[in-house]
Chain A
Amino acid sequence: EADIYQTPRYLVIGTGKKITLECSQTMGHDKMYWYQQDPGMELHLIHYSYGVNSTEKGDLSSESTVSRIRTEHFPLTLESARPSHTSQYLCASSLRLGGDEKLFFGSGTQLSVL
């Protein structure tokens, strides 16, 4: 149904490394989001974007940064990864449905920082 892609699917890296998680969508959606989810827990919004050159921080404090230079691309970067960053990162884009937004998720990136 949805054309939103995340790479890599799994990533294991050492502490202090810089990493970028990729997210792309081909649906032309203006709004995109990054959520963080620990195993068995709810999703927490860490970043969102209304469109090109628009980015905002979400409810959960995060040391990551994002950019939105093109509509279809919304990468997330960690300058110096730490074990506390170990989690699943889910990218989503949205389509307006009635009064709110319907989210389409990518398959996620499972990040492990050693």
Chain B
Amino acid sequence: GQQVMQIPQYQHVQEGEDFTTYCNSSTTLSNIQWYKQRPGGHPVFLIQLVKSGEVKKQKRLTFQFGEAKKNSSLHITATQTTDVGTYFCVTGTASKLTFGTGTRLQVTL
């Protein structure tokens, strides 16, 4: 099946620092979604990217889809403690959405 790798696996930042997670696929993706899972919680949909080179912003979060549609990134500017959680990229067909390996973000004061 399709494999989607995320890096880094874990990152610990101080509040106010920036954070970026990368999602890489060996095959071309039709689109990509991002989800956030708080500790002890369930994944929550953040955004979907469809077009090559697409960039979308949600307040301090910036999402980008690579030109070749094989990678994506999520960048958080000036992290806050509320950003703590695991961020997953998700891709696949309508019937089988595949989750990436996830990046766990820890933010301390």
Contacts and interface: CB of A to CB of B under 8 A. Distances in A.
Interface stretch (A68-76, A79-87, A98-106): A98-106
A99 B50 contact: yes
Q: Which of A56, A103, A107 has the most CB of B within 10 A?
A: A103
Contacts of A94: 97
Given A48-B95, A90-B42, A43 B50 contact: no
9 contacts: A42-B101, A98-B31, A98-B48, A100-B31, A100-B48, A101-B97, A102-B33, A102-B45, A106-B42
Interface size class of A (residues with CB under 8 A): 20 to 34
B96 interface: yes
Contacts of B44: 105
B88 interface: yes
A105 B43 contact: yes
Given A59-B98, A100-B30, A100-B33, 5 more contacts: A35-B99, A98-B31, A103-B43, A103-B90, A105-B44
B54 to A, nearest CB: 11
A49 B1 CA distance: 19
B97 A103 contact: yes
Q: Which of B35, B94, B97 has the most CB of A within 10 A?
A: B97
A43 B94 contact: no
A72 B96 CA distance: 20
